[in-house]
């Protein structure tokens, strides 16, 4: 992906504030919401943080499933192949989803948008079920470190965090990727919610099962990316 340039249509985003009150690996970690002081310095996994904040184990598992399906549904709908999907039942709750190239147009961009779609779907799920709070939204951001690092590593040019002042305030901010991913998820949300109980029940779905539950084609991977 590094040899390609991925661009997203510029969207004017007003009043976007990226806060930098959290540091990850010595670098400021930008977030939309204030990181709660009570979580500072706590070396807890995502599951412990979310359940300490009032989510039940079941709700946490469903939220993780929505995150992983967010990656999967966007990649599949774009025409990429998804190797399968897994959520763990009792561990730290980290899920797993991977895309394979198929040679579609704008492939680099769709790979990025699918990577961003995990945290976006997670936030959307919290809103849809009436569990969204600012403190949970910031946990969604704080636990999206590996997805964001993958995006920042592969996007050329890397998206920025921070609005550009003035009338010409357009450009590829990370929030543009989030906004575009959210638009895509809007039209795919019903498919995602229909697949969600199957993922909860089975914990692991093969690429075929995933495509069937989402009602999307399997999309064979290109020979170069099997
Ligand atoms: Zn993810």
> Which pLDDT tens digits describe the chain residue by residue (226 residues)?
333 444 444 444 555 778 888 888 888 888 888 888 888 877 767 888 888 889 999 999 999 999 999 999 999 999 999 999 999 754 444 678 999 999 999 999 999 999 999 999 999 999 999 999 999 999 999 889 989 999 988 887 778 887 544 433 344 788 889 999 999 999 999 999 999 999 999 999 999 999 999 999 999 999 877 6
The answer to whether the beta carbons of residues 210 and 72 sit under 8 Å apart is yes
Give the C-alpha separation, 109 to 99, whole Å.
Answer: 13
Distance (angstroms) between ligand 1 centre and the Cα of 167 equals 34
Whole-number pLDDT of residue 165: 44
Whole-number pLDDT of residue 137: 93
Whole-number pLDDT of residue 25: 83
Which of these, 132, 119, 113, lies nearest to 30 by C-alpha position? Answer: 119
**What is the DSSP secondary structure assignment for residue 36, as one 8-state letter?**
P
Distance (angstroms) between ligand 1 centre and the Cα of 152 equals 14
Token representation of residue 158: 């890397």
- Provide the total of helices (H) and of strands (E) in the chain, helices listed first: 7, 5
Surrounding residues of ion ligand 1, Cβ less than 5 A: 118, 147
Which residues is 82 bridged to in the sheet?
99
Instruction: Using a cut of 0.85, tell me whether the model's pTM lies above it.
Output: yes
Whole-number pLDDT of residue 2: 34
Distance (angstroms) between ligand 1 centre and the Cα of 41 equals 23
Distance (angstroms) between ligand 1 centre and the Cα of 65 equals 10
Give the C-alpha separation, 95 to 59, whole Å.
Answer: 15
The answer to whether the beta carbons of residues 130 and 124 sit under 8 Å apart is no
Distance (angstroms) between ligand 1 centre and the Cα of 169 equals 29
| Domain 19-225: which CATH number of 1.10.3470, 3.30.390, 2.30.30, 1.20.58 | 1.20.58
3-state secondary structure of 54: coil
3-state secondary structure of 51: helix
Q: Greatest CA separation found in the chain?
A: 50
Which residue matches tokens 């704008």? 106
The dihedrals phi and psi of 187, each to the nearest 5 degrees, come to: -85, -15
112 Cβ neighbours under 8 A, 6+ residues apart: 6, 8, 151, 154, 155, 177
End-to-end CA distance of the chain, in Å? 15
Which of these, 224, 192, 169, lies nearest to 76 by C-alpha position? Answer: 192
Whole-number pLDDT of residue 167: 35
Which residue matches tokens 């009570």? 38
Distance (angstroms) between ligand 1 centre and the Cα of 118 equals 5
Distance (angstroms) between ligand 1 centre and the Cα of 166 equals 33
Distance (angstroms) between ligand 1 centre and the Cα of 93 equals 11
Q: How many CB atoms lie within 10 A of CB 10?
A: 12
């Amino acid at each position: 992906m590094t040899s390609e340039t991925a661009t997203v249509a510029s969207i004017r985003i007003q009043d976007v504030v990226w806060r930098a009150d959290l540091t990850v690996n010595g670098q400021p970690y930008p977030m939309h919401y204030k990181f709660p002081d009570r979580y500072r310095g706590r070396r807890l996994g995502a599951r412990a943080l979310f359940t300490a904040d009032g989510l039940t184990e079941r709700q946490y598992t469903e939220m993780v499933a929505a995150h992983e399906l967010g990656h999967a549904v966007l990649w599949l709908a774009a025409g990429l192949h998804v190797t399968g999907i897994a959520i763990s039942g009792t561990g730290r709750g980290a899920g797993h989803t991977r895309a394979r190239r198929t040679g579609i147009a704008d492939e680099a961009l769709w790979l990025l948008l699918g990577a961003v779609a995990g945290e976006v779907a997670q936030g959307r799920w919290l809103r849809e079920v009436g569990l969204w709070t600012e403190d949970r939204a910031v946990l969604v951001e704080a636990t999206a470190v590996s997805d964001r690092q993958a995006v920042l590593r592969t996007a050329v040019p890397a998206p920025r965090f921070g609005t550009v002042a003035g009338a010409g305030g357009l450009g590829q901010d990370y929030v543009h990727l989030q906004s575009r991913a959210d638009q895509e998820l809007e039209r795919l949300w019903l498919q995602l919610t229909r697949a969600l109980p199957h993922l909860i029940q089975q914990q692991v779905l093969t690429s075929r099962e995933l495509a069937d539950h989402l009602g999307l084609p399997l999309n064979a991977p290109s020979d170069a990316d099997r």
